[in-house]
Amino acid sequence: MSGTLDPSAPQRSYLWQDGTLRSWLLTRDHKRIALLYLGSITAFFALGSVGAALVRLQLLEPTGTILSDATYNRMFTMHGVVMVWLFLVPSIPVTLGNFLVPLMLGARDLAFPRLNLLSWYLFVASGLLVVYGLFRGGLETGWTFYTPLSSEYTEGRVLPVVLGVFLNGFSSIATGVNFIVSIHQLRAPGMGWYRLPLMLWALYATSVIFVLATPVLGITLLLLAFEHLFRVGVFDPSLGGDPLLFQQLFWFYSHPAVYIMILPGMGVVSEIVSTFCHKPVFGYRFVAWSSVSIAAIGFVVWGHHMFVAGTSLYSAIVFSMFSFFVSVPSAIKVFNWLGTMHGGSIRLDAPMLYAMGFIGLFTVGGLTGLFLASLAADVHLTQTYFVVAHFHYIMVGGMVSAYFGGLHYWWPKITGRMYPETWGRLAAGLIFFGFNLTFLPQFILGFEGMPRRYATYPAQFQVLNVLSSAGAGILAVAYALPLVYFTWSLFRGARAPDNPWRATGLEWRTASPPPVENFAETPVVTTYAYDYAELDGRAGPPGTAVGGPHV
């Protein structure tokens, strides 16, 4: 806002250079595309939350309160499909990632700006198709679309939903190609691989999954659509086809995809933890390579979703073993974050609260993943609320927290305004509390044997279900808070300085909000990513920044 009004300002901010709708819809500026994405995925997040709210309302009573069984099935499907593909898979990469990748690289834009815009249009088109299917008829298969339920027995709208998710995949691939190629080709002079911020390592690893796993989802859904549309056999057991083949193909994508839904969060947390401890990340190279190895090993564990489906024992053993391996790099990250915090002067601003929430909740989710990866335990726990709690701890407790943490952290850079800190901390605390109240009972429920995806349940489970639904209510309020105060801050928030958190990283060396071309002149990198000594040398003695350090 200041940019255009202040004649002395050397460059125009990307936000206000040209306010026409056309300039937004045809923009090739990665920063604006990030905001287009931010708007769209926020809408889908709201939509998915409505689905969750209805599910939790229904489960207040053992016999169900408001929905018919069929509607219940449609609601949890809606919730899952929307949350996974229209919110969580794109979340951090397409918003913070699109905004930050060029800035962190010291580049003017992504490698293929037009492709980037195309990916947003594909995303919107896919979202509209999915929503059309889900509201004109709905779908009862769950987000996993297992055959033959989805091909033969369904009464729902398979085609629009499946084709929507198919399109969505191409939007992901476009983003992935763009990030990988940009990180290879557009690093500023002096920016070697080991000088990249860890966020970029994480996004690189995520993009590998985008590019190499998503096409397999594409072909899987195409096979499914083909089978469903023409009533021919592909996975049909009555022809000797193998319904488990669908699951193999589906999980070849979807297990790596769960890492799409956590790796970017790990990147964000690495940045936040380092900044708010004012210390370089402990074991930088380990954290960097653990992202890559999570992405790589994540490709060979998918069979753990099929332990009880009737797959061969050999395959189950192999996949169980790899699943144990994949937890190693995850643990490395957790210990390195703790190592970074150890002895640091930790500032507990809102982003850091979210990051700490992430670390705790991700650890719980990861450890329970190991329970599930053990063959014997999984036979008992599979298809129960234990699994639901496991992945929500990681995807919601972990990733959504990281997403909110990242939004708070980079909000000053994106908008040029500070958010209200007190409200930020309050929301972070409330989210943590509401989250645990919602999902901790589900671990117990699952352990006691309550199956997932049923509209009703035995009366003895009611207390825990009521607790869980109450938590969901708190969570809903807590998620709405940032929406309110972020909007408020756009107009009334204090103006943000260029580097409000005294962070390293090239994005903090340009104006807030950045000018259209990102940097007045291409920055030259001379030190490693988290060199606070150099930063303090540039910025004057430590302790001069807002909110002095406190342990």
Max Cα separation, the chain?
A: 75
Binding marks (x or -) toward ligand HEM, 439..478, rule CB under 6 A? ----------------------------------------
Determine if 256 is a binding residue for ligand HEM (CB under 6 A). no
Would you state the structure tokens that stand for residue 398, as one six-digit string?
A: 């972990």
Query: What, of another protein, Cu ion, ligand HEM, none, does residue 344 touch, CB below 5 to 8 Å by kind?
Result: none
DSSP track, 325-337:
HHHHHHHHHHHHH
**How many angstroms separate the Cα of 199 from the Cα of each of 203, 205, 252, 260, 270?**
6, 10, 25, 13, 7
Interacting span for ligand HEM (CB under 6 A) from 164-172, 321-329, 457-465, 499-507: 321-329
- Residue 17 has φ and ψ, to the nearest 5°, of -60, -35
Cα angle 523-526-527, degrees, rounded to a multiple of 5:
120
User: Nearest-CA neighbor of 265 among 87, 400, 419?
Assistant: 400
User: Nearest-CA neighbor of 492 among 548, 549, 420, 547?
Assistant: 420
**How many angstroms separate the Cα of 449 from the Cα of each of 66, 68, 85, 426, 463?**
24, 23, 29, 35, 15
Least distance in angstroms from the C-beta of 495 to Cu ion:
45
Q: Of the candidates 2, 9, 70, 114, which one interacts with another protein according to CB under 8 A?
A: 114
For residue 63, with 0-12 CB atoms within 10 Å meaning exposed, 13-18 middle and 19 or more buried, which class applies?
A: exposed
Least distance in angstroms from the C-beta of 255 to Cu ion:
4
Query: What, of Cu ion, another protein, ligand HEM, none, does residue 311 touch, CB below 5 to 8 Å by kind?
Result: another protein
Give the count of residues interacting with Cu ion (CB under 5 A). 1
Beta-sheet strands, E only, within 31-169: none
Count the alpha carbons within 13 Å of 372 in the hemisphere toward its beta carbon: 27
Interacting span for Cu ion (CB under 5 A) from 16-24, 232-240, 254-262, 445-453: 254-262
How many helices and strands (H and E) does the chain possess?
20, 0
Q: How many CB atoms lie within 10 A of CB 67?
A: 18
Determine if 326 is a binding residue for ligand HEM (CB under 6 A). yes
Give the count of residues interacting with another protein (CB under 8 A). 65
Determine if 376 is a binding residue for another protein (CB under 8 A). no
Would you mind telling me the total number of residues written for the chain in this entry? 551
Determine if 497 is a binding residue for another protein (CB under 8 A). no
Determine if 12 is a binding residue for another protein (CB under 8 A). no
Q: Of the candidates 228, 255, 390, 392, which one interacts with Cu ion according to CB under 5 A?
A: 255
Determine if 390 is a binding residue for Cu ion (CB under 5 A). no
User: Nearest-CA neighbor of 400 among 42, 122, 124?
Assistant: 42
State the Cα–Cα distance between residues 37 and 28, nearest whole angstrom. 13
Determine if 314 is a binding residue for another protein (CB under 8 A). yes
For residue 302, with 0-12 CB atoms within 10 Å meaning exposed, 13-18 middle and 19 or more buried, which class applies?
A: buried
Q: Of the candidates 34, 306, 373, 472, which one interacts with another protein according to CB under 8 A?
A: 306
Binding marks (x or -) toward ligand HEM, 119..148, rule CB under 6 A? -------------------------x----
Q: Of the candidates 64, 218, 366, 406, which one interacts with another protein according to CB under 8 A?
A: 218
Q: Which one, 74 or 390, has the nearer CB to Cu ion? A: 390
Determine if 211 is a binding residue for another protein (CB under 8 A). yes
State the Cα–Cα distance between residues 32 and 377, nearest whole angstrom. 48
Determine if 219 is a binding residue for another protein (CB under 8 A). yes
Please report, as ranges, the residues that interact with ligand HEM according to CB under 6 A: 144, 258-259, 261-262, 304-305, 323, 326-327, 330, 366, 369-370, 372-373, 378, 382, 387, 390-391, 394-395
Please report, as ranges, the residues that interact with another protein according to CB under 8 A: 28-29, 102, 107-114, 173, 176-178, 180-182, 184-186, 208, 211-216, 218-220, 222-223, 226-227, 230-234, 238-242, 244-245, 248-249, 252, 299-300, 302-303, 306, 310-315, 318-319, 516-517
